[in-house]
Structure 1
Amino acid sequence: MIAGLDLWFWICVVLGTVSTVICVIQFLRGVAADDWSQGSIIVLQGFLMVYFVGSIIMQLVTDGPKGDWLEYYGYLLTAMIIPAGTLTWSLSERTKWSTLVLGVTGPVLIIMVLRMNQLWYYY
């Protein structure tokens, strides 16, 4: 753990930041949601699926989260809905504004994974 945060969090920081930068650059260029912006969200969704499976395995192998497990998995399932929802919306509204909405997904997921990290290790 770096600074009390696990590797899952730091991977989410990198992926979320890269996704946000890609989407904001595309928005500033005036480009509607395209392969780059939507692809970055698909990568985030894939990361969350791996995170979900890893959480279940860690739940079985260790004592599980120190905080409320229901709150932890509530955060995780909500975090998995966000990229899917923004991606679906970007497919239905093909404007530059959907690209900006995709860009917000990264920071939101970083904050949610930070909270899940706190629930797992510290509460």
Structure 2
Amino acid sequence: MVWGYDGWFWAAVVLGVISFAVCLVQALRGRAPDDWSQGSVLVLEAFLLVYCVGSVLLPVLGPSPSGSLLEYWGYLLTALLIPAGTFVWSLVERSRWSTLILAAAGPVVIVMVYRMNFIYYYQ
């Protein structure tokens, strides 16, 4: 079943792991949020915005969802809010703990995209 996931899922995995690693290293070094940590989360958010556009086009151009479309969009909107929320948090509180909160966005997005992929194709 691992190979049944599409390229968008694997792109989310790569970007999420990179963002997590960058932010975690910066947090372990005791650094406040900087261009690297915040930038990695912004790249993750930009990916999710492109994913959102693809999600609008997919039912029209591709297969219809096998699971609940409402549940799928709930996951997608929540996934869009996570990196944005952590980014705002890092702007408000400039401490190394904010960098650790930024690190949490990567794994959360991976899990959310995994679940969206499962809802759309396998449920």
TM-score normalized with structure 2 length: 0.97
Whole-Å Cα distance in 2 between the matches of residues 43 and 68 of structure 1? 28
Aligned to 1:33: 33
Displacement of 1:2: 5.9
Aligned to 2:59: 59
SS in 2 for 1:46: helix
1:47 and 2:47 matched: yes
1:64: Cα distance to partner? 2.4
> Which residue identity does 1:19 align to in structure 2?
S
Identity of aligned residues (%): 57
Residue 116 of structure 2 aligns with an amino acid whose one-letter code is M
Shift of 1:48: 0.2
Deviates most, 89-98 or 55-64: 55-64
Name the structure 2 match of 1:120.
120
Aligned-partner Cα distance in 2 for 1:108–1:62: 26
Name the SS for the 2:22 alignment partner: helix
**Structure 2 counterpart of 1:8, one-letter code:** W
- Ranges in structure 1 where 5+ consecutive residues have no aligned partner: none
Q: How does 1:34-113 map to 2 (within 5 A)?
A: 34-113=34-113
**Which residue identity does 1:46 align to in structure 2?**
A
CA distance in 2, matches of 1:47, 1:4: 21
Equivalent runs, 1:4-15 vs 2, <5 Å = 4-15=4-15
The 2-side partners of 1:112 and 1:51 are apart by 12
1:2 and 1:39 map into 2 onto residues whose CA distance is 29
Give unmatched runs, 5+ long, in structure 2. none
Hey, which bits of structure 1, 4+ residues long, moved more than 4 A?
none
Q: CA deviation at 1:92?
A: 0.1
| Distance in 2 separating the partners of 1:117 and 1:76 | 10
